[in-house]
Homo-oligomer: A and B are copies of this chain.
């Protein structure tokens, strides 16, 4: 099953004559959150029309297709999945169904840890499923709810869910935004003239020209309708602590976005500064592994006083179709993407900043490239703590035994990647740099403290898939 391994970006807009086009722009800005497939569903006051396909936003939508998506309310979705080729078109979102309460469209970012359980129960009651995503479970729960109003049906459904869900639901001439009570994934609200806009990150608001109003709060459900914007808190009484994904700052969100009320750029730079204070080393130059290492590298440079340089040039023309050599003599997969700048590196003691180490093999290639380009010493600094635990809330990480840091010490890893020294940001330093414990972060991938209990079957399943 694919449902454990998804990143996603969501976007929605209510009451705008160019709803589909703005959603297209919004998905464009959120493309980094999912490149596998894209979709837009539009409500025209009477029916929902939609278009979805595998591919980047720019290839899924054409001028003609956008013109056919007529309507005043729209939601969109970018999706990432780990095995595109064999994936089913039935999994592409937004999901659109018809039911006794009419047409419903839904865009979901996150991962529901009790989805299998709920799905089994629904199947037992006679429900059928087309795809394999968690998201389909949510739709069934809404439709099957015995509550009277549309909003109460949603409340009924979402209070059954455990895990991560930033949701946009379009039905009944309303646009509903929900963020799970833990607040795992981001979701922001903005306004554009008379329209209300929701997006995974503020960079999407910026591109469509919308003004940021505020975050959708963890546990909040916002119902936008013709006459009102109403907010309710369906999870009150539920005993749960705020658990916003701190990894969004490390790698996933775009540096020009604000999420969880904070600038990604500033937090990420603070990671670099803290890293420099915690793990100083005498060197000639600070460089980054582009792109997510750039901002912490600037922070590291500022704090340490060691000059920042562009040690790698990224090839912008690398597509999915790069042809690998048939002769297996040389490894070229990283080199086509990242080209070291000999003049910056030759004869230098180099600090290189990367956001994380997963299996260690890419890091080793990077260290080797730097040394081949003439670096005298290579000191790798990682702008997050060692990643030791898999994520079950919507970020694709390998299982524990594939995470190098869960089996090896920092010294052993340093040796494996052939770096002269290796150091990580401390967990405390990271939390402090992100605003402190009072902000409420999920750091499970670093410390294994999952805010929601993970069912055994989910853990087993994840192992089998990877």
Contacts and interface: CB of A to CB of B under 8 A. Distances in A.
Interface of A: 18, 21, 24-25, 28-29, 31-32, 35, 49-50, 52, 56-59, 61-63, 66, 68, 85-86, 88-90, 96-100, 104, 123-130, 132, 139-140, 143-144, 203, 206-207, 209, 254-256, 258, 263, 265-266, 291, 294-295, 298, 302, 307-310, 313, 315-319, 321-323, 325-327, 330, 332, 335-336, 339-344
A98 B132 CA distance: 9
21 contacts: A18-B325, A18-B327, A25-B332, A29-B339, A31-B317, A49-B86, A50-B88, A57-B317, A63-B323, A68-B86, A97-B128, A98-B132, A99-B127, A100-B126, A127-B127, A203-B313, A207-B339, A255-B341, A256-B313, A263-B343, A291-B316
A144 B100 CA distance: 16
Given A128-B140, A143-B128, A325 B21 contact: yes
Contacts of A327: 18
Contacts of A310: 255, 265, 294-295, 298
For the residues of A in contact with B, the DSSP-based class is mixed
A62 B255 contact: no
A424 B346 CA distance: 31
Given A207-B335, A323-B62, A56 B294 contact: no
Contacts of A341: 255-256, 263, 265
Nearest to A209: B330
B96 A123 contact: no
Contacts of A308: 298, 308
A321 B206 contact: no
Instruction: Kindly name the residue among A24, A29, A343 whose own CB sees the greatest number of chain B CB atoms within 10 A.
Output: A343
A306 to B, nearest CB: 12
A128 B98 contact: yes
Given A98-B123, A98-B128, 10 more contacts: A21-B326, A28-B315, A32-B317, A97-B129, A127-B143, A128-B140, A255-B310, A263-B342, A291-B316, A302-B307
B35 A317 contact: yes
Contacts of A100: 123-126
A315 B31 contact: yes
A105 to B, nearest CB: 12
A63 B57 CA distance: 26
Contacts of A294: 310
A96 B295 CA distance: 47
A68 B342 CA distance: 35
A319 B28 CA distance: 11
A319 B56 contact: yes
A434 B63 CA distance: 46
Contacts of A315: 28-29, 31
A88 B203 CA distance: 31
Contacts of A336: 25, 28, 207
A319 B59 contact: yes
Contacts of A298: 308-310
A343 B173 CA distance: 36
Contacts of A330: 209
B256 A342 contact: yes
Nearest to A346: B263
Contacts of A31: 315, 317
A100 B50 CA distance: 29
Nearest to A142: B128
Instruction: Kindly name the residue among A56, A255, A291 whose own CB sees the greatest number of chain B CB atoms within 10 A.
Output: A255
A230 to B, nearest CB: 25
A191 to B, nearest CB: 16
B207 A323 contact: no
A90 B136 CA distance: 14
Nearest to A131: B98
A317 B129 contact: no
A284 to B, nearest CB: 13
